[in-house]
Amino acid sequence: MEERKSDQDTARRIAESAELQLAPDGERYPVIDLKTTLSISLENRVSMRHVETTALQQGVVPCRYLRNIGTIGVDGQLKLLESTVAIVGAGGLGGTAIELLARLGAGHLIIIDDGRFADHNLNRQLMSAQDNVGERKVTVAASRVSKVNCAVEVTAFGERLTNDNASRLLRGARAVVDGLDNLSSRFAVEHACRDLGIPYVYGTIAGFCGQLMTIYPGDPGLSCIYGSCRADLEQGMESATGNPATTPALVAALQVQESVKIITGIGTPLRNRVLMVDVAHGTFDTLELTR
């Protein structure tokens, strides 16, 4: 009974507080600002995520998401906020993906990484800074998310993903984003995602080049690129070409967009196609996959 009254009070306060605002798409939406959202959360002892989902269910847009609405709509934003996305690796690709997913309003992030920040991460890893070298990546990432969007809930696993624990770590995710740097872990993620029925957004970079695709359960996937998982392919070209700042940021942004497509149903995912990016020559090519 108390919980029902709290929900009713939350919905009432949202309705009373909403004000019409003009969005970039030219439409006027009832909007609730961040300060009021925080106040309602504290008054009714409910999470920020609960307040924001309740608002969207009523057609009221939390102001932080107003500039998302023209592309994904109120329903798309609600789907994002109700979703769980797992990010495996919180480095160059993963750190940028975490930041973007938090700003977009993906409601629950599972962050998996057993590493700590080092000096050589500072050139490209968005979560790294001079004052957190030596700290655990998942701890820093969780803290960053809370500062960017306190409605986003985080489950952090400071452990290396393996074949033995992948299903446990990824369970409940709507999409899985690849922020990994080795082939064996990628195959472990793909295998677990197949078993769990979760789309897997693969991505990798090497120097000025990158590639990505979205692998649904039943799709050909990594074996079409690498064959079987072999020890001699554990590290790719990146070990020789390095990892500049721009390439992982670009590929991670595209991976997040793939996740948005999966969750909202808006757009066409890169299924059975590998997008090949070469920023040195400004080219984007697509390679069709067959079994």
Lowest mean pLDDT across 17-31, 38-52, 255-269: 17-31
Q: What is the mean pLDDT of the chain?
A: 93
Query: Per-residue pLDDT tens for 163-183?
Result: 999 999 999 999 999 999 999
pLDDT score recorded for residue 112:
98
pLDDT at residue 89, rounded to an integer: 97
Share of the chain above pLDDT 90, in %: 87
pLDDT, position 208: 95
* pLDDT bracket for residue 24 (50, 70, 90): confident
Distance CA 79, CA 259 (A): 12
Write out pLDDT tens, residues 94-113: 999 999 999 999 999 999 99
| DSSP three-state, residue 162 | coil
5, pLDDT greater than 70? no
Which pLDDT value is given to residue 18? Answer: 94
Q: Options 3.40.50.620, 3.30.930.10, 3.40.50.720, 3.40.640.10; which CATH number does 83-288 get? A: 3.40.50.720
Question: What is the per-residue pLDDT across 123-152, written as a single tens digit (0 to 9) for each?
Answer: 999 999 999 999 999 999 999 999 999 999
For 189-204, how does the pLDDT look when each residue is reduced to its tens digit (9 = 90+)? 999 999 999 999 999 9
- Residue 195 and residue 33: Cα distance in Å, rounded? 41
Q: Does position 50 have pLDDT exceeding 70, yes or no?
A: yes
Alpha helices by DSSP H, the chain: 2-17, 34-44, 48-57, 69-81, 92-104, 137-148, 166-170, 183-196, 223-226, 238-241, 246-264
Domain map of the chain by residue range?
A: 2-72, 83-288
Is the pLDDT score of 234 beyond 70? Answer: no
The predicted pLDDT at position 240 comes to 58
> Residue 241 above 70 pLDDT?
no
Who's near 84: CB < 8 A, 6+ residues apart?
106, 107, 108, 109, 110, 172, 173, 174
- Asked if the model's pLDDT at residue 232 lies above 70, the reply is no
pLDDT of residue 23: 85
Share of the chain above pLDDT 70, in %: 94
Helix (H, G, I), strand (E, B) or coil at 23: coil
Mean pLDDT over residues 3-20, rounded? 88
- Banded pLDDT at 235 (limits 50, 70, 90): low
Higher pLDDT, residue 149 or 237: 149
pTM of the model: 0.94
The full DSSP string for 54-95 is HHHHTTPEEGGGGGGHHHHHHHHHHHHHT-EEEEE--SHHHH
